[in-house]
Chain A
Amino acid sequence: MADLTSNFIGIKSPNPFWLASAPPTDKEYNVRRAFEAGWGGVVWKTLGSEGPPIVNVNGPRYGVVHGADRRVLGLNNIELITDRDLFKNLDEIKRVKKDYPDRAIIVSIMVPCEEDAWKTILPLVEETGADGIELNFGCPHGMAERGMGSAVGQVPEYVEMVTGWCKKYYSKPVIVKLTPNISDIRKPAAAAQAGGADAVSLINTISSIISVDLDVMAPNPTIDGKGTHGGYCGPAVKPIAMNMVAEIARNPETANLPISGIGGITSWRDAAEYMVLGCGNVQVCTAAMTYGFKIVQEMISGLSQWMDEKGYESTEEFVRQAVPNVTDWQYLNLNYVSKASINQDDCISCGRCYAACEDTSHQAISMTSDRKFSVIDAECVACNLCVEVCPVENCITMVQQEPGVIDPRTNKVVEEKHGDWTSHPNNPSVFAAE
């Protein structure tokens, strides 16, 4: 029977599903509702220094990319860190932590890049009894312009420096949240580790313009006729985030750095994917903002069912399991051959596979006059485009060609042994030494 209890860098929670630092974790009312719904932990919306808090626009603050049926695929926000008084937040954090001792409460912090600012705020946070802190080096809008947020996250030296301060002035775990608006995520990750971070969390939001209002001629969301770039998140960013997680997990330098995965997690499967790529736990925001806190119930039941099916009793058993299988392109087996195959019983004759292949790929699908579609093995390179554009799941599948058979496309025998680019005769660097 699957046990979802999570122990992430010494912080215990009943399951690995936390809420990320954002509007859902802005205040006591929201956080209590989250815990009542079953979330394992929350990262409290980013606190700023003592004094007058930042102010937000009076809306709109969000823009969305919609899929079919107005499904929320990507969300863009121009909201900033907390606009509530620091001490009000601290009081609430202390109160909530007392009432929910078994749930994780992490406090996200963003203060100026000066040692004193951190030295001042950290004891106040310590006093709340929270389980740890998360350093917000990610906001791409609003705060970056003031030298905070992603302005720090893009400079590894700053990341290391501030992390070091936090380890100095705070006794509990320090999680460093990374911005994706950078060319090589390994650098800030390594910097955080060098500074003593107990873990990194990623990704924060991606700089974006969601859409343009063609009547007002300004980016959405428009405020009085003008728009600005915001931070993009939601299902659309999951692939970008997962790649960055994998980069950090497979980099020998940071192979042991615990990771909290963030970015478009909407169902149990998304969470499991992040975890096998190297995350000890996950943080959710957009899905909660789209559907409400109840979605955690599906994540819990789904992950439990999957764990039972696979025989995993605890989450530790599958974290990082996929990391060894993340390789570089040049090591992929060029001798592995497959062909697409269309199941005629499941096919509904929409012809989308034909449109995709005939127009944009290898002309490897034939169409009869009575709309029967089948694969031409002699042309099929197995690119998989037909599989993915087909509206019926598993109607088209990729079938591995067994070693020993002839590939009608190349007229060559499918080879058993591994052969990749690093030893391919076409590769000029293979012969360079000779």
Chain B
Amino acid sequence: MAHSSSTSGIVSGRLDSDLLEQNFEDLHAPLSKHEALVASDRCYFCHDAPCMTACPTSIDIPLFIRQIATGTTDASAKTILSQNILGGMCARVCPTETLCEEACVREVAEGKPVEIGRLQRFATDNLMAKDIHPFERKASSGKKVAVIGAGPAGLACAHKLATLGHEITIYEAREKGGGLNEFGIAAYKSIDNFAQKELDWLLSIGGIKIEYGKGIGTNIKLDQIQSDYDATFIGMGLSGVNSLRCDGENLHNVDDAVSFISDLRQADSLSNVKVGRDVVVIGGGMTAVDAAVQSKLLGAQNVSLVYRRGKEDMSASVYEQELATSKGVRIIYNATPLEVTENGSSLDVKFGFTESIKSQLKQTGETFSLPANQVLKAIGQNLSNQSDELKIIDGKINVNDHGQTNISNIWAGGDCAIGGDDLTVTAVAQGRDAAVHINSQLMK
């Protein structure tokens, strides 16, 4: 008998393959040429544009939009990619609703910002479809740089350094590059294997080599790398998952949301991805939303997203919360997990309601339980620190404004380092800026 949303347990194929495909289509469909002309025409070409200031990579947004409007889409893509080499992925995943589009003066004027994200995708898609890589590598400098992690921070750093003529080796623990772009971003934000295509396109600059299956702490050592190379950039991300710190956390089917999303992304067919009938996601960030939404899109009958604080404290944007509820996810605010217990072949998760009293989160005393076949933890990731010498602050590698750690020839950026907002775009900015500084130090 075919499965459906009401099939008990954790099973795959709850929805037929056509429906699954439809569910996981592009969240924001690409703009057609006509749509791009209409959308670009709305930009006022502001002076000292607020959108540009809001962009962590300072993309010259008014200029790239004007370049689309005047029919020079290649030039538009170059404008974007010069500041953000992963402009293609960022166009798909950036929370524009809290960055550039929130700052857009037309958001202020009419509540309808210019569609900056979709326009950025229009330009970059156009250039990448033509297989144009508009950057050149300077003559070889003779310097070698090691990059730990082929995620956005590492790739941005590597590309910038490659354009400046340096030789880069990226050590990537997984078997594929891209970092969270490949393993963590919701599938409907990055369809058609885009993360890999972008990676291949990025590497066409030359001068960058990636060694897969090489993770520091497992089969390579940081101090060895540090001494073998003229400089090292750590873009290792956060590979640890915060624990719930409640009983029952280690029960079967209490998993981390990041792994769930990663497995979904790597599945060869959505029909083979298993999901519970009742799914409980604990957390309040983008990962929690991505896990909850995708569970629902796979056909789970009941998906609850439970966050311990109030709606206004949730780090997932209002847009993302509304996306979740529009897909049928139930969001429960102000509830903290107390324990997970077995109930036959499934689980029960007991929560205690909370309230904020004088900025302290306190339990009210009232509790409730949710049945769950699957519990997904999405309460944050943490650094798997591999070095005794690196200074760590609040769980992240301490770096100065140039991305330099306390060790003079080691830089760091992305989720593993302080600063930034744990976004792809801030990782790119940090990687790029560290590269500029690395270059200045190497060429002294």
A interface residues (Cβ-Cβ under 8 A, vs B): 69, 267-269, 291-292, 294-295, 297-298, 301-302, 304-306, 346, 392-393, 395
Contact = CB atoms under 8 A, between A and B. Distances in A.
B178 to A, nearest CB: 30
Contacts of A304: 75
B61 to A, nearest CB: 12
B113 to A, nearest CB: 15
Contacts of B17: none
Given A305-B72, A392-B34, A298 B42 contact: no
B67 A302 contact: yes
7 contacts: A69-B41, A269-B70, A294-B62, A301-B63, A301-B79, A302-B70, A302-B71
B241 interface: no
A298 to B, nearest CB: 5
B74 A305 contact: yes
B34 A298 contact: no
Contacts of A305: 72, 74-75
A291 B34 contact: no
Main secondary structure of the interface of B (DSSP, over half): helix
A6 to B, nearest CB: 19
Residue in A268, A305, A392, A393 whose Cβ sees the most chain B Cβ within 10 Å:
A305
Given A69-B42, A298-B67, A393 B37 contact: yes
Given A269-B71, A294-B62, 8 more contacts: A69-B41, A294-B47, A294-B63, A298-B66, A301-B78, A346-B34, A393-B34, A395-B34
A292 B49 CA distance: 12
B45 A291 contact: yes
Contacts of B78: 301
A306 B78 CA distance: 14
A295 B45 contact: yes
Contacts of B74: 305
Contacts of B79: 301
Highest count of chain B CB atoms <10 Å: which of A301, A302, A392: A301
Interface of B: 33-34, 37, 41-42, 45, 47, 62-63, 66-67, 70-72, 74-75, 78-79
A419 to B, nearest CB: 35
Nearest to B42: A69
* Most chain B beta carbons < 10 A, residue from A291, A294, A346: A294
A301 B47 contact: no
A301 B67 contact: yes
B70 A268 contact: yes
Contacts of B62: 294
A190 to B, nearest CB: 35
A301 B75 contact: yes
A295 B66 contact: yes
A301 B73 CA distance: 10
A342 to B, nearest CB: 14
Contacts of A292: 45, 47
Contacts of A295: 45, 66
A389 to B, nearest CB: 15
Contacts of A395: 34
Contacts of A301: 63, 67, 72, 75, 78-79
A297 B63 contact: yes
B104 to A, nearest CB: 14
Nearest to A392: B34
A69 B70 CA distance: 18
Contacts of B37: 393
A100 B440 CA distance: 29
Contacts of B34: 346, 392-393, 395
A371 to B, nearest CB: 18
A84 to B, nearest CB: 25
B20 to A, nearest CB: 28
A292 B66 CA distance: 13
A395 B62 CA distance: 27
A249 B42 CA distance: 37
Contacts of B45: 291-292, 294-295
A269 B74 CA distance: 15
Contacts of A346: 34
Nearest to A308: B74
Nearest to B78: A301
Most buried by A among B42, B62, B63, B75: B75
Contacts of B63: 294, 297-298, 301
A252 to B, nearest CB: 35
Chain A CB within 10 A, most for which of B34, B37, B66, B71: B66
A298 B47 contact: no
Nearest to B35: A392
Q: Which of A267, A298, A393, A395 has the most CB of B within 10 A?
A: A298
Nearest 7 Cβ contacts at the A-B interface: A301-B75, A267-B70, A302-B72, A305-B72, A305-B75, A298-B66, A291-B45
A269 B70 CA distance: 8
Nearest to B74: A305
Contacts of B70: 267-269, 298, 302
B72 A306 contact: yes
A302 B47 contact: no
B107 to A, nearest CB: 16
B75 A302 contact: yes
A69 B41 CA distance: 9
Contacts of B66: 267, 295, 298
A309 to B, nearest CB: 8
Nearest to A299: B70
Contacts of B71: 269, 302
Nearest to A348: B34
B224 to A, nearest CB: 43
A292 B45 CA distance: 9
A294 B42 CA distance: 18
A68 to B, nearest CB: 9
A305 B123 CA distance: 14
Contacts of A294: 45, 47, 62-63
A139 B62 CA distance: 34
B345 to A, nearest CB: 52
Nearest to A68: B41
Nearest to A298: B66
Nearest to B79: A301
A298 B63 CA distance: 7
